[in-house]
Amino acid sequence: MKKQTPAQLEAIQRLMQMADTPQNLEAMQYVVFQFDFRDFDQFIIECPPGSIRFNNLLRMAVFCDNVGFLVEAGVVDREAVFELFPIPWAKVEPVIQGMRKDLDWPDTFDYFERLGREYMKWWEAKRKRLNVPPASPELGGVPRSLLLAKPRPPVPARPAPPPRPAPPSRAGLPVPATGRAPQPALPVAPARAVEEKPKTLRVKTPSKPVKIVSKERRGQQSKPKARPKAAQARKR
């Protein structure tokens, strides 16, 4: 690897800091170690937009697309990027191609695609220098973790539960189709006839009218009437 300029080293350090963030690190780990989709239709059904796995794929693709842009612009060295970051284009290519068709966006993550294809050639040449047999003859020297995902085995169908046995009949009564024995009807005693007594009508007598006396008149009635002075003199 050739010697890096100070500007290239600073850009590489910033890329390493971005790759080490919890979100980008989780996204790259998911794609490298857990991503196992070979079809976009299956991926979009199991990982709809907004889900964690869908966001992880987009976050990893956006990061690699930005790195590819910086490589083509000459900001960072291509070989230095290949030595430091995995470029899993071979693993996500079927899903990205299906996404392009579904969105009618043919240049989606095109920098990521060009960077990934160059990474496959670079890794094949490095593997030959190291004298290591390739992991897959179809993809040359691509690492095993960055190969196309293996097809998923079909999920076995869940067997249907056996029907529940019907309970035995009670008192020799036949068991209906529902599986329950009918309950015998209980005798109901006839209701007693209740004689209705004639109701007596009560006539209310009107009450006497109440006289309303004012306060002034009430005071006059309580006070004794004054006798004339002549009558008092006679008594003396």
Residues 173-230 pLDDT 10s:
555 555 555 565 666 666 565 555 656 656 566 555 556 555 566 555 555 555 555 5
Phi and psi of 136, rounded to 5°?
A: -145, 125
- Burial pattern 18-40, b for ≥16 Cβ within 10 A else e, equals ebeeeebeebbebbeeebebbeb
Q: What is the pLDDT of residues 90-138, one digit of tens each?
A: 999 999 999 999 999 999 999 999 999 999 999 989 888 888 776 655 5
Question: Average model confidence (pLDDT) for the chain?
Answer: 78
**For the whole prediction, is pTM greater than 0.75?**
no
Q: Hey, what amino acid is at 129? A: R
Cα–Cα separations (whole angstroms), residue 184 to 66, 166, 172, 178: 81, 19, 11, 16
The sign of the dihedral angle between the CA atoms of 111, 116, 122, 126 is: positive
Domain ranges of the chain: 6-146
Amino acid (one-letter) located at 207: S
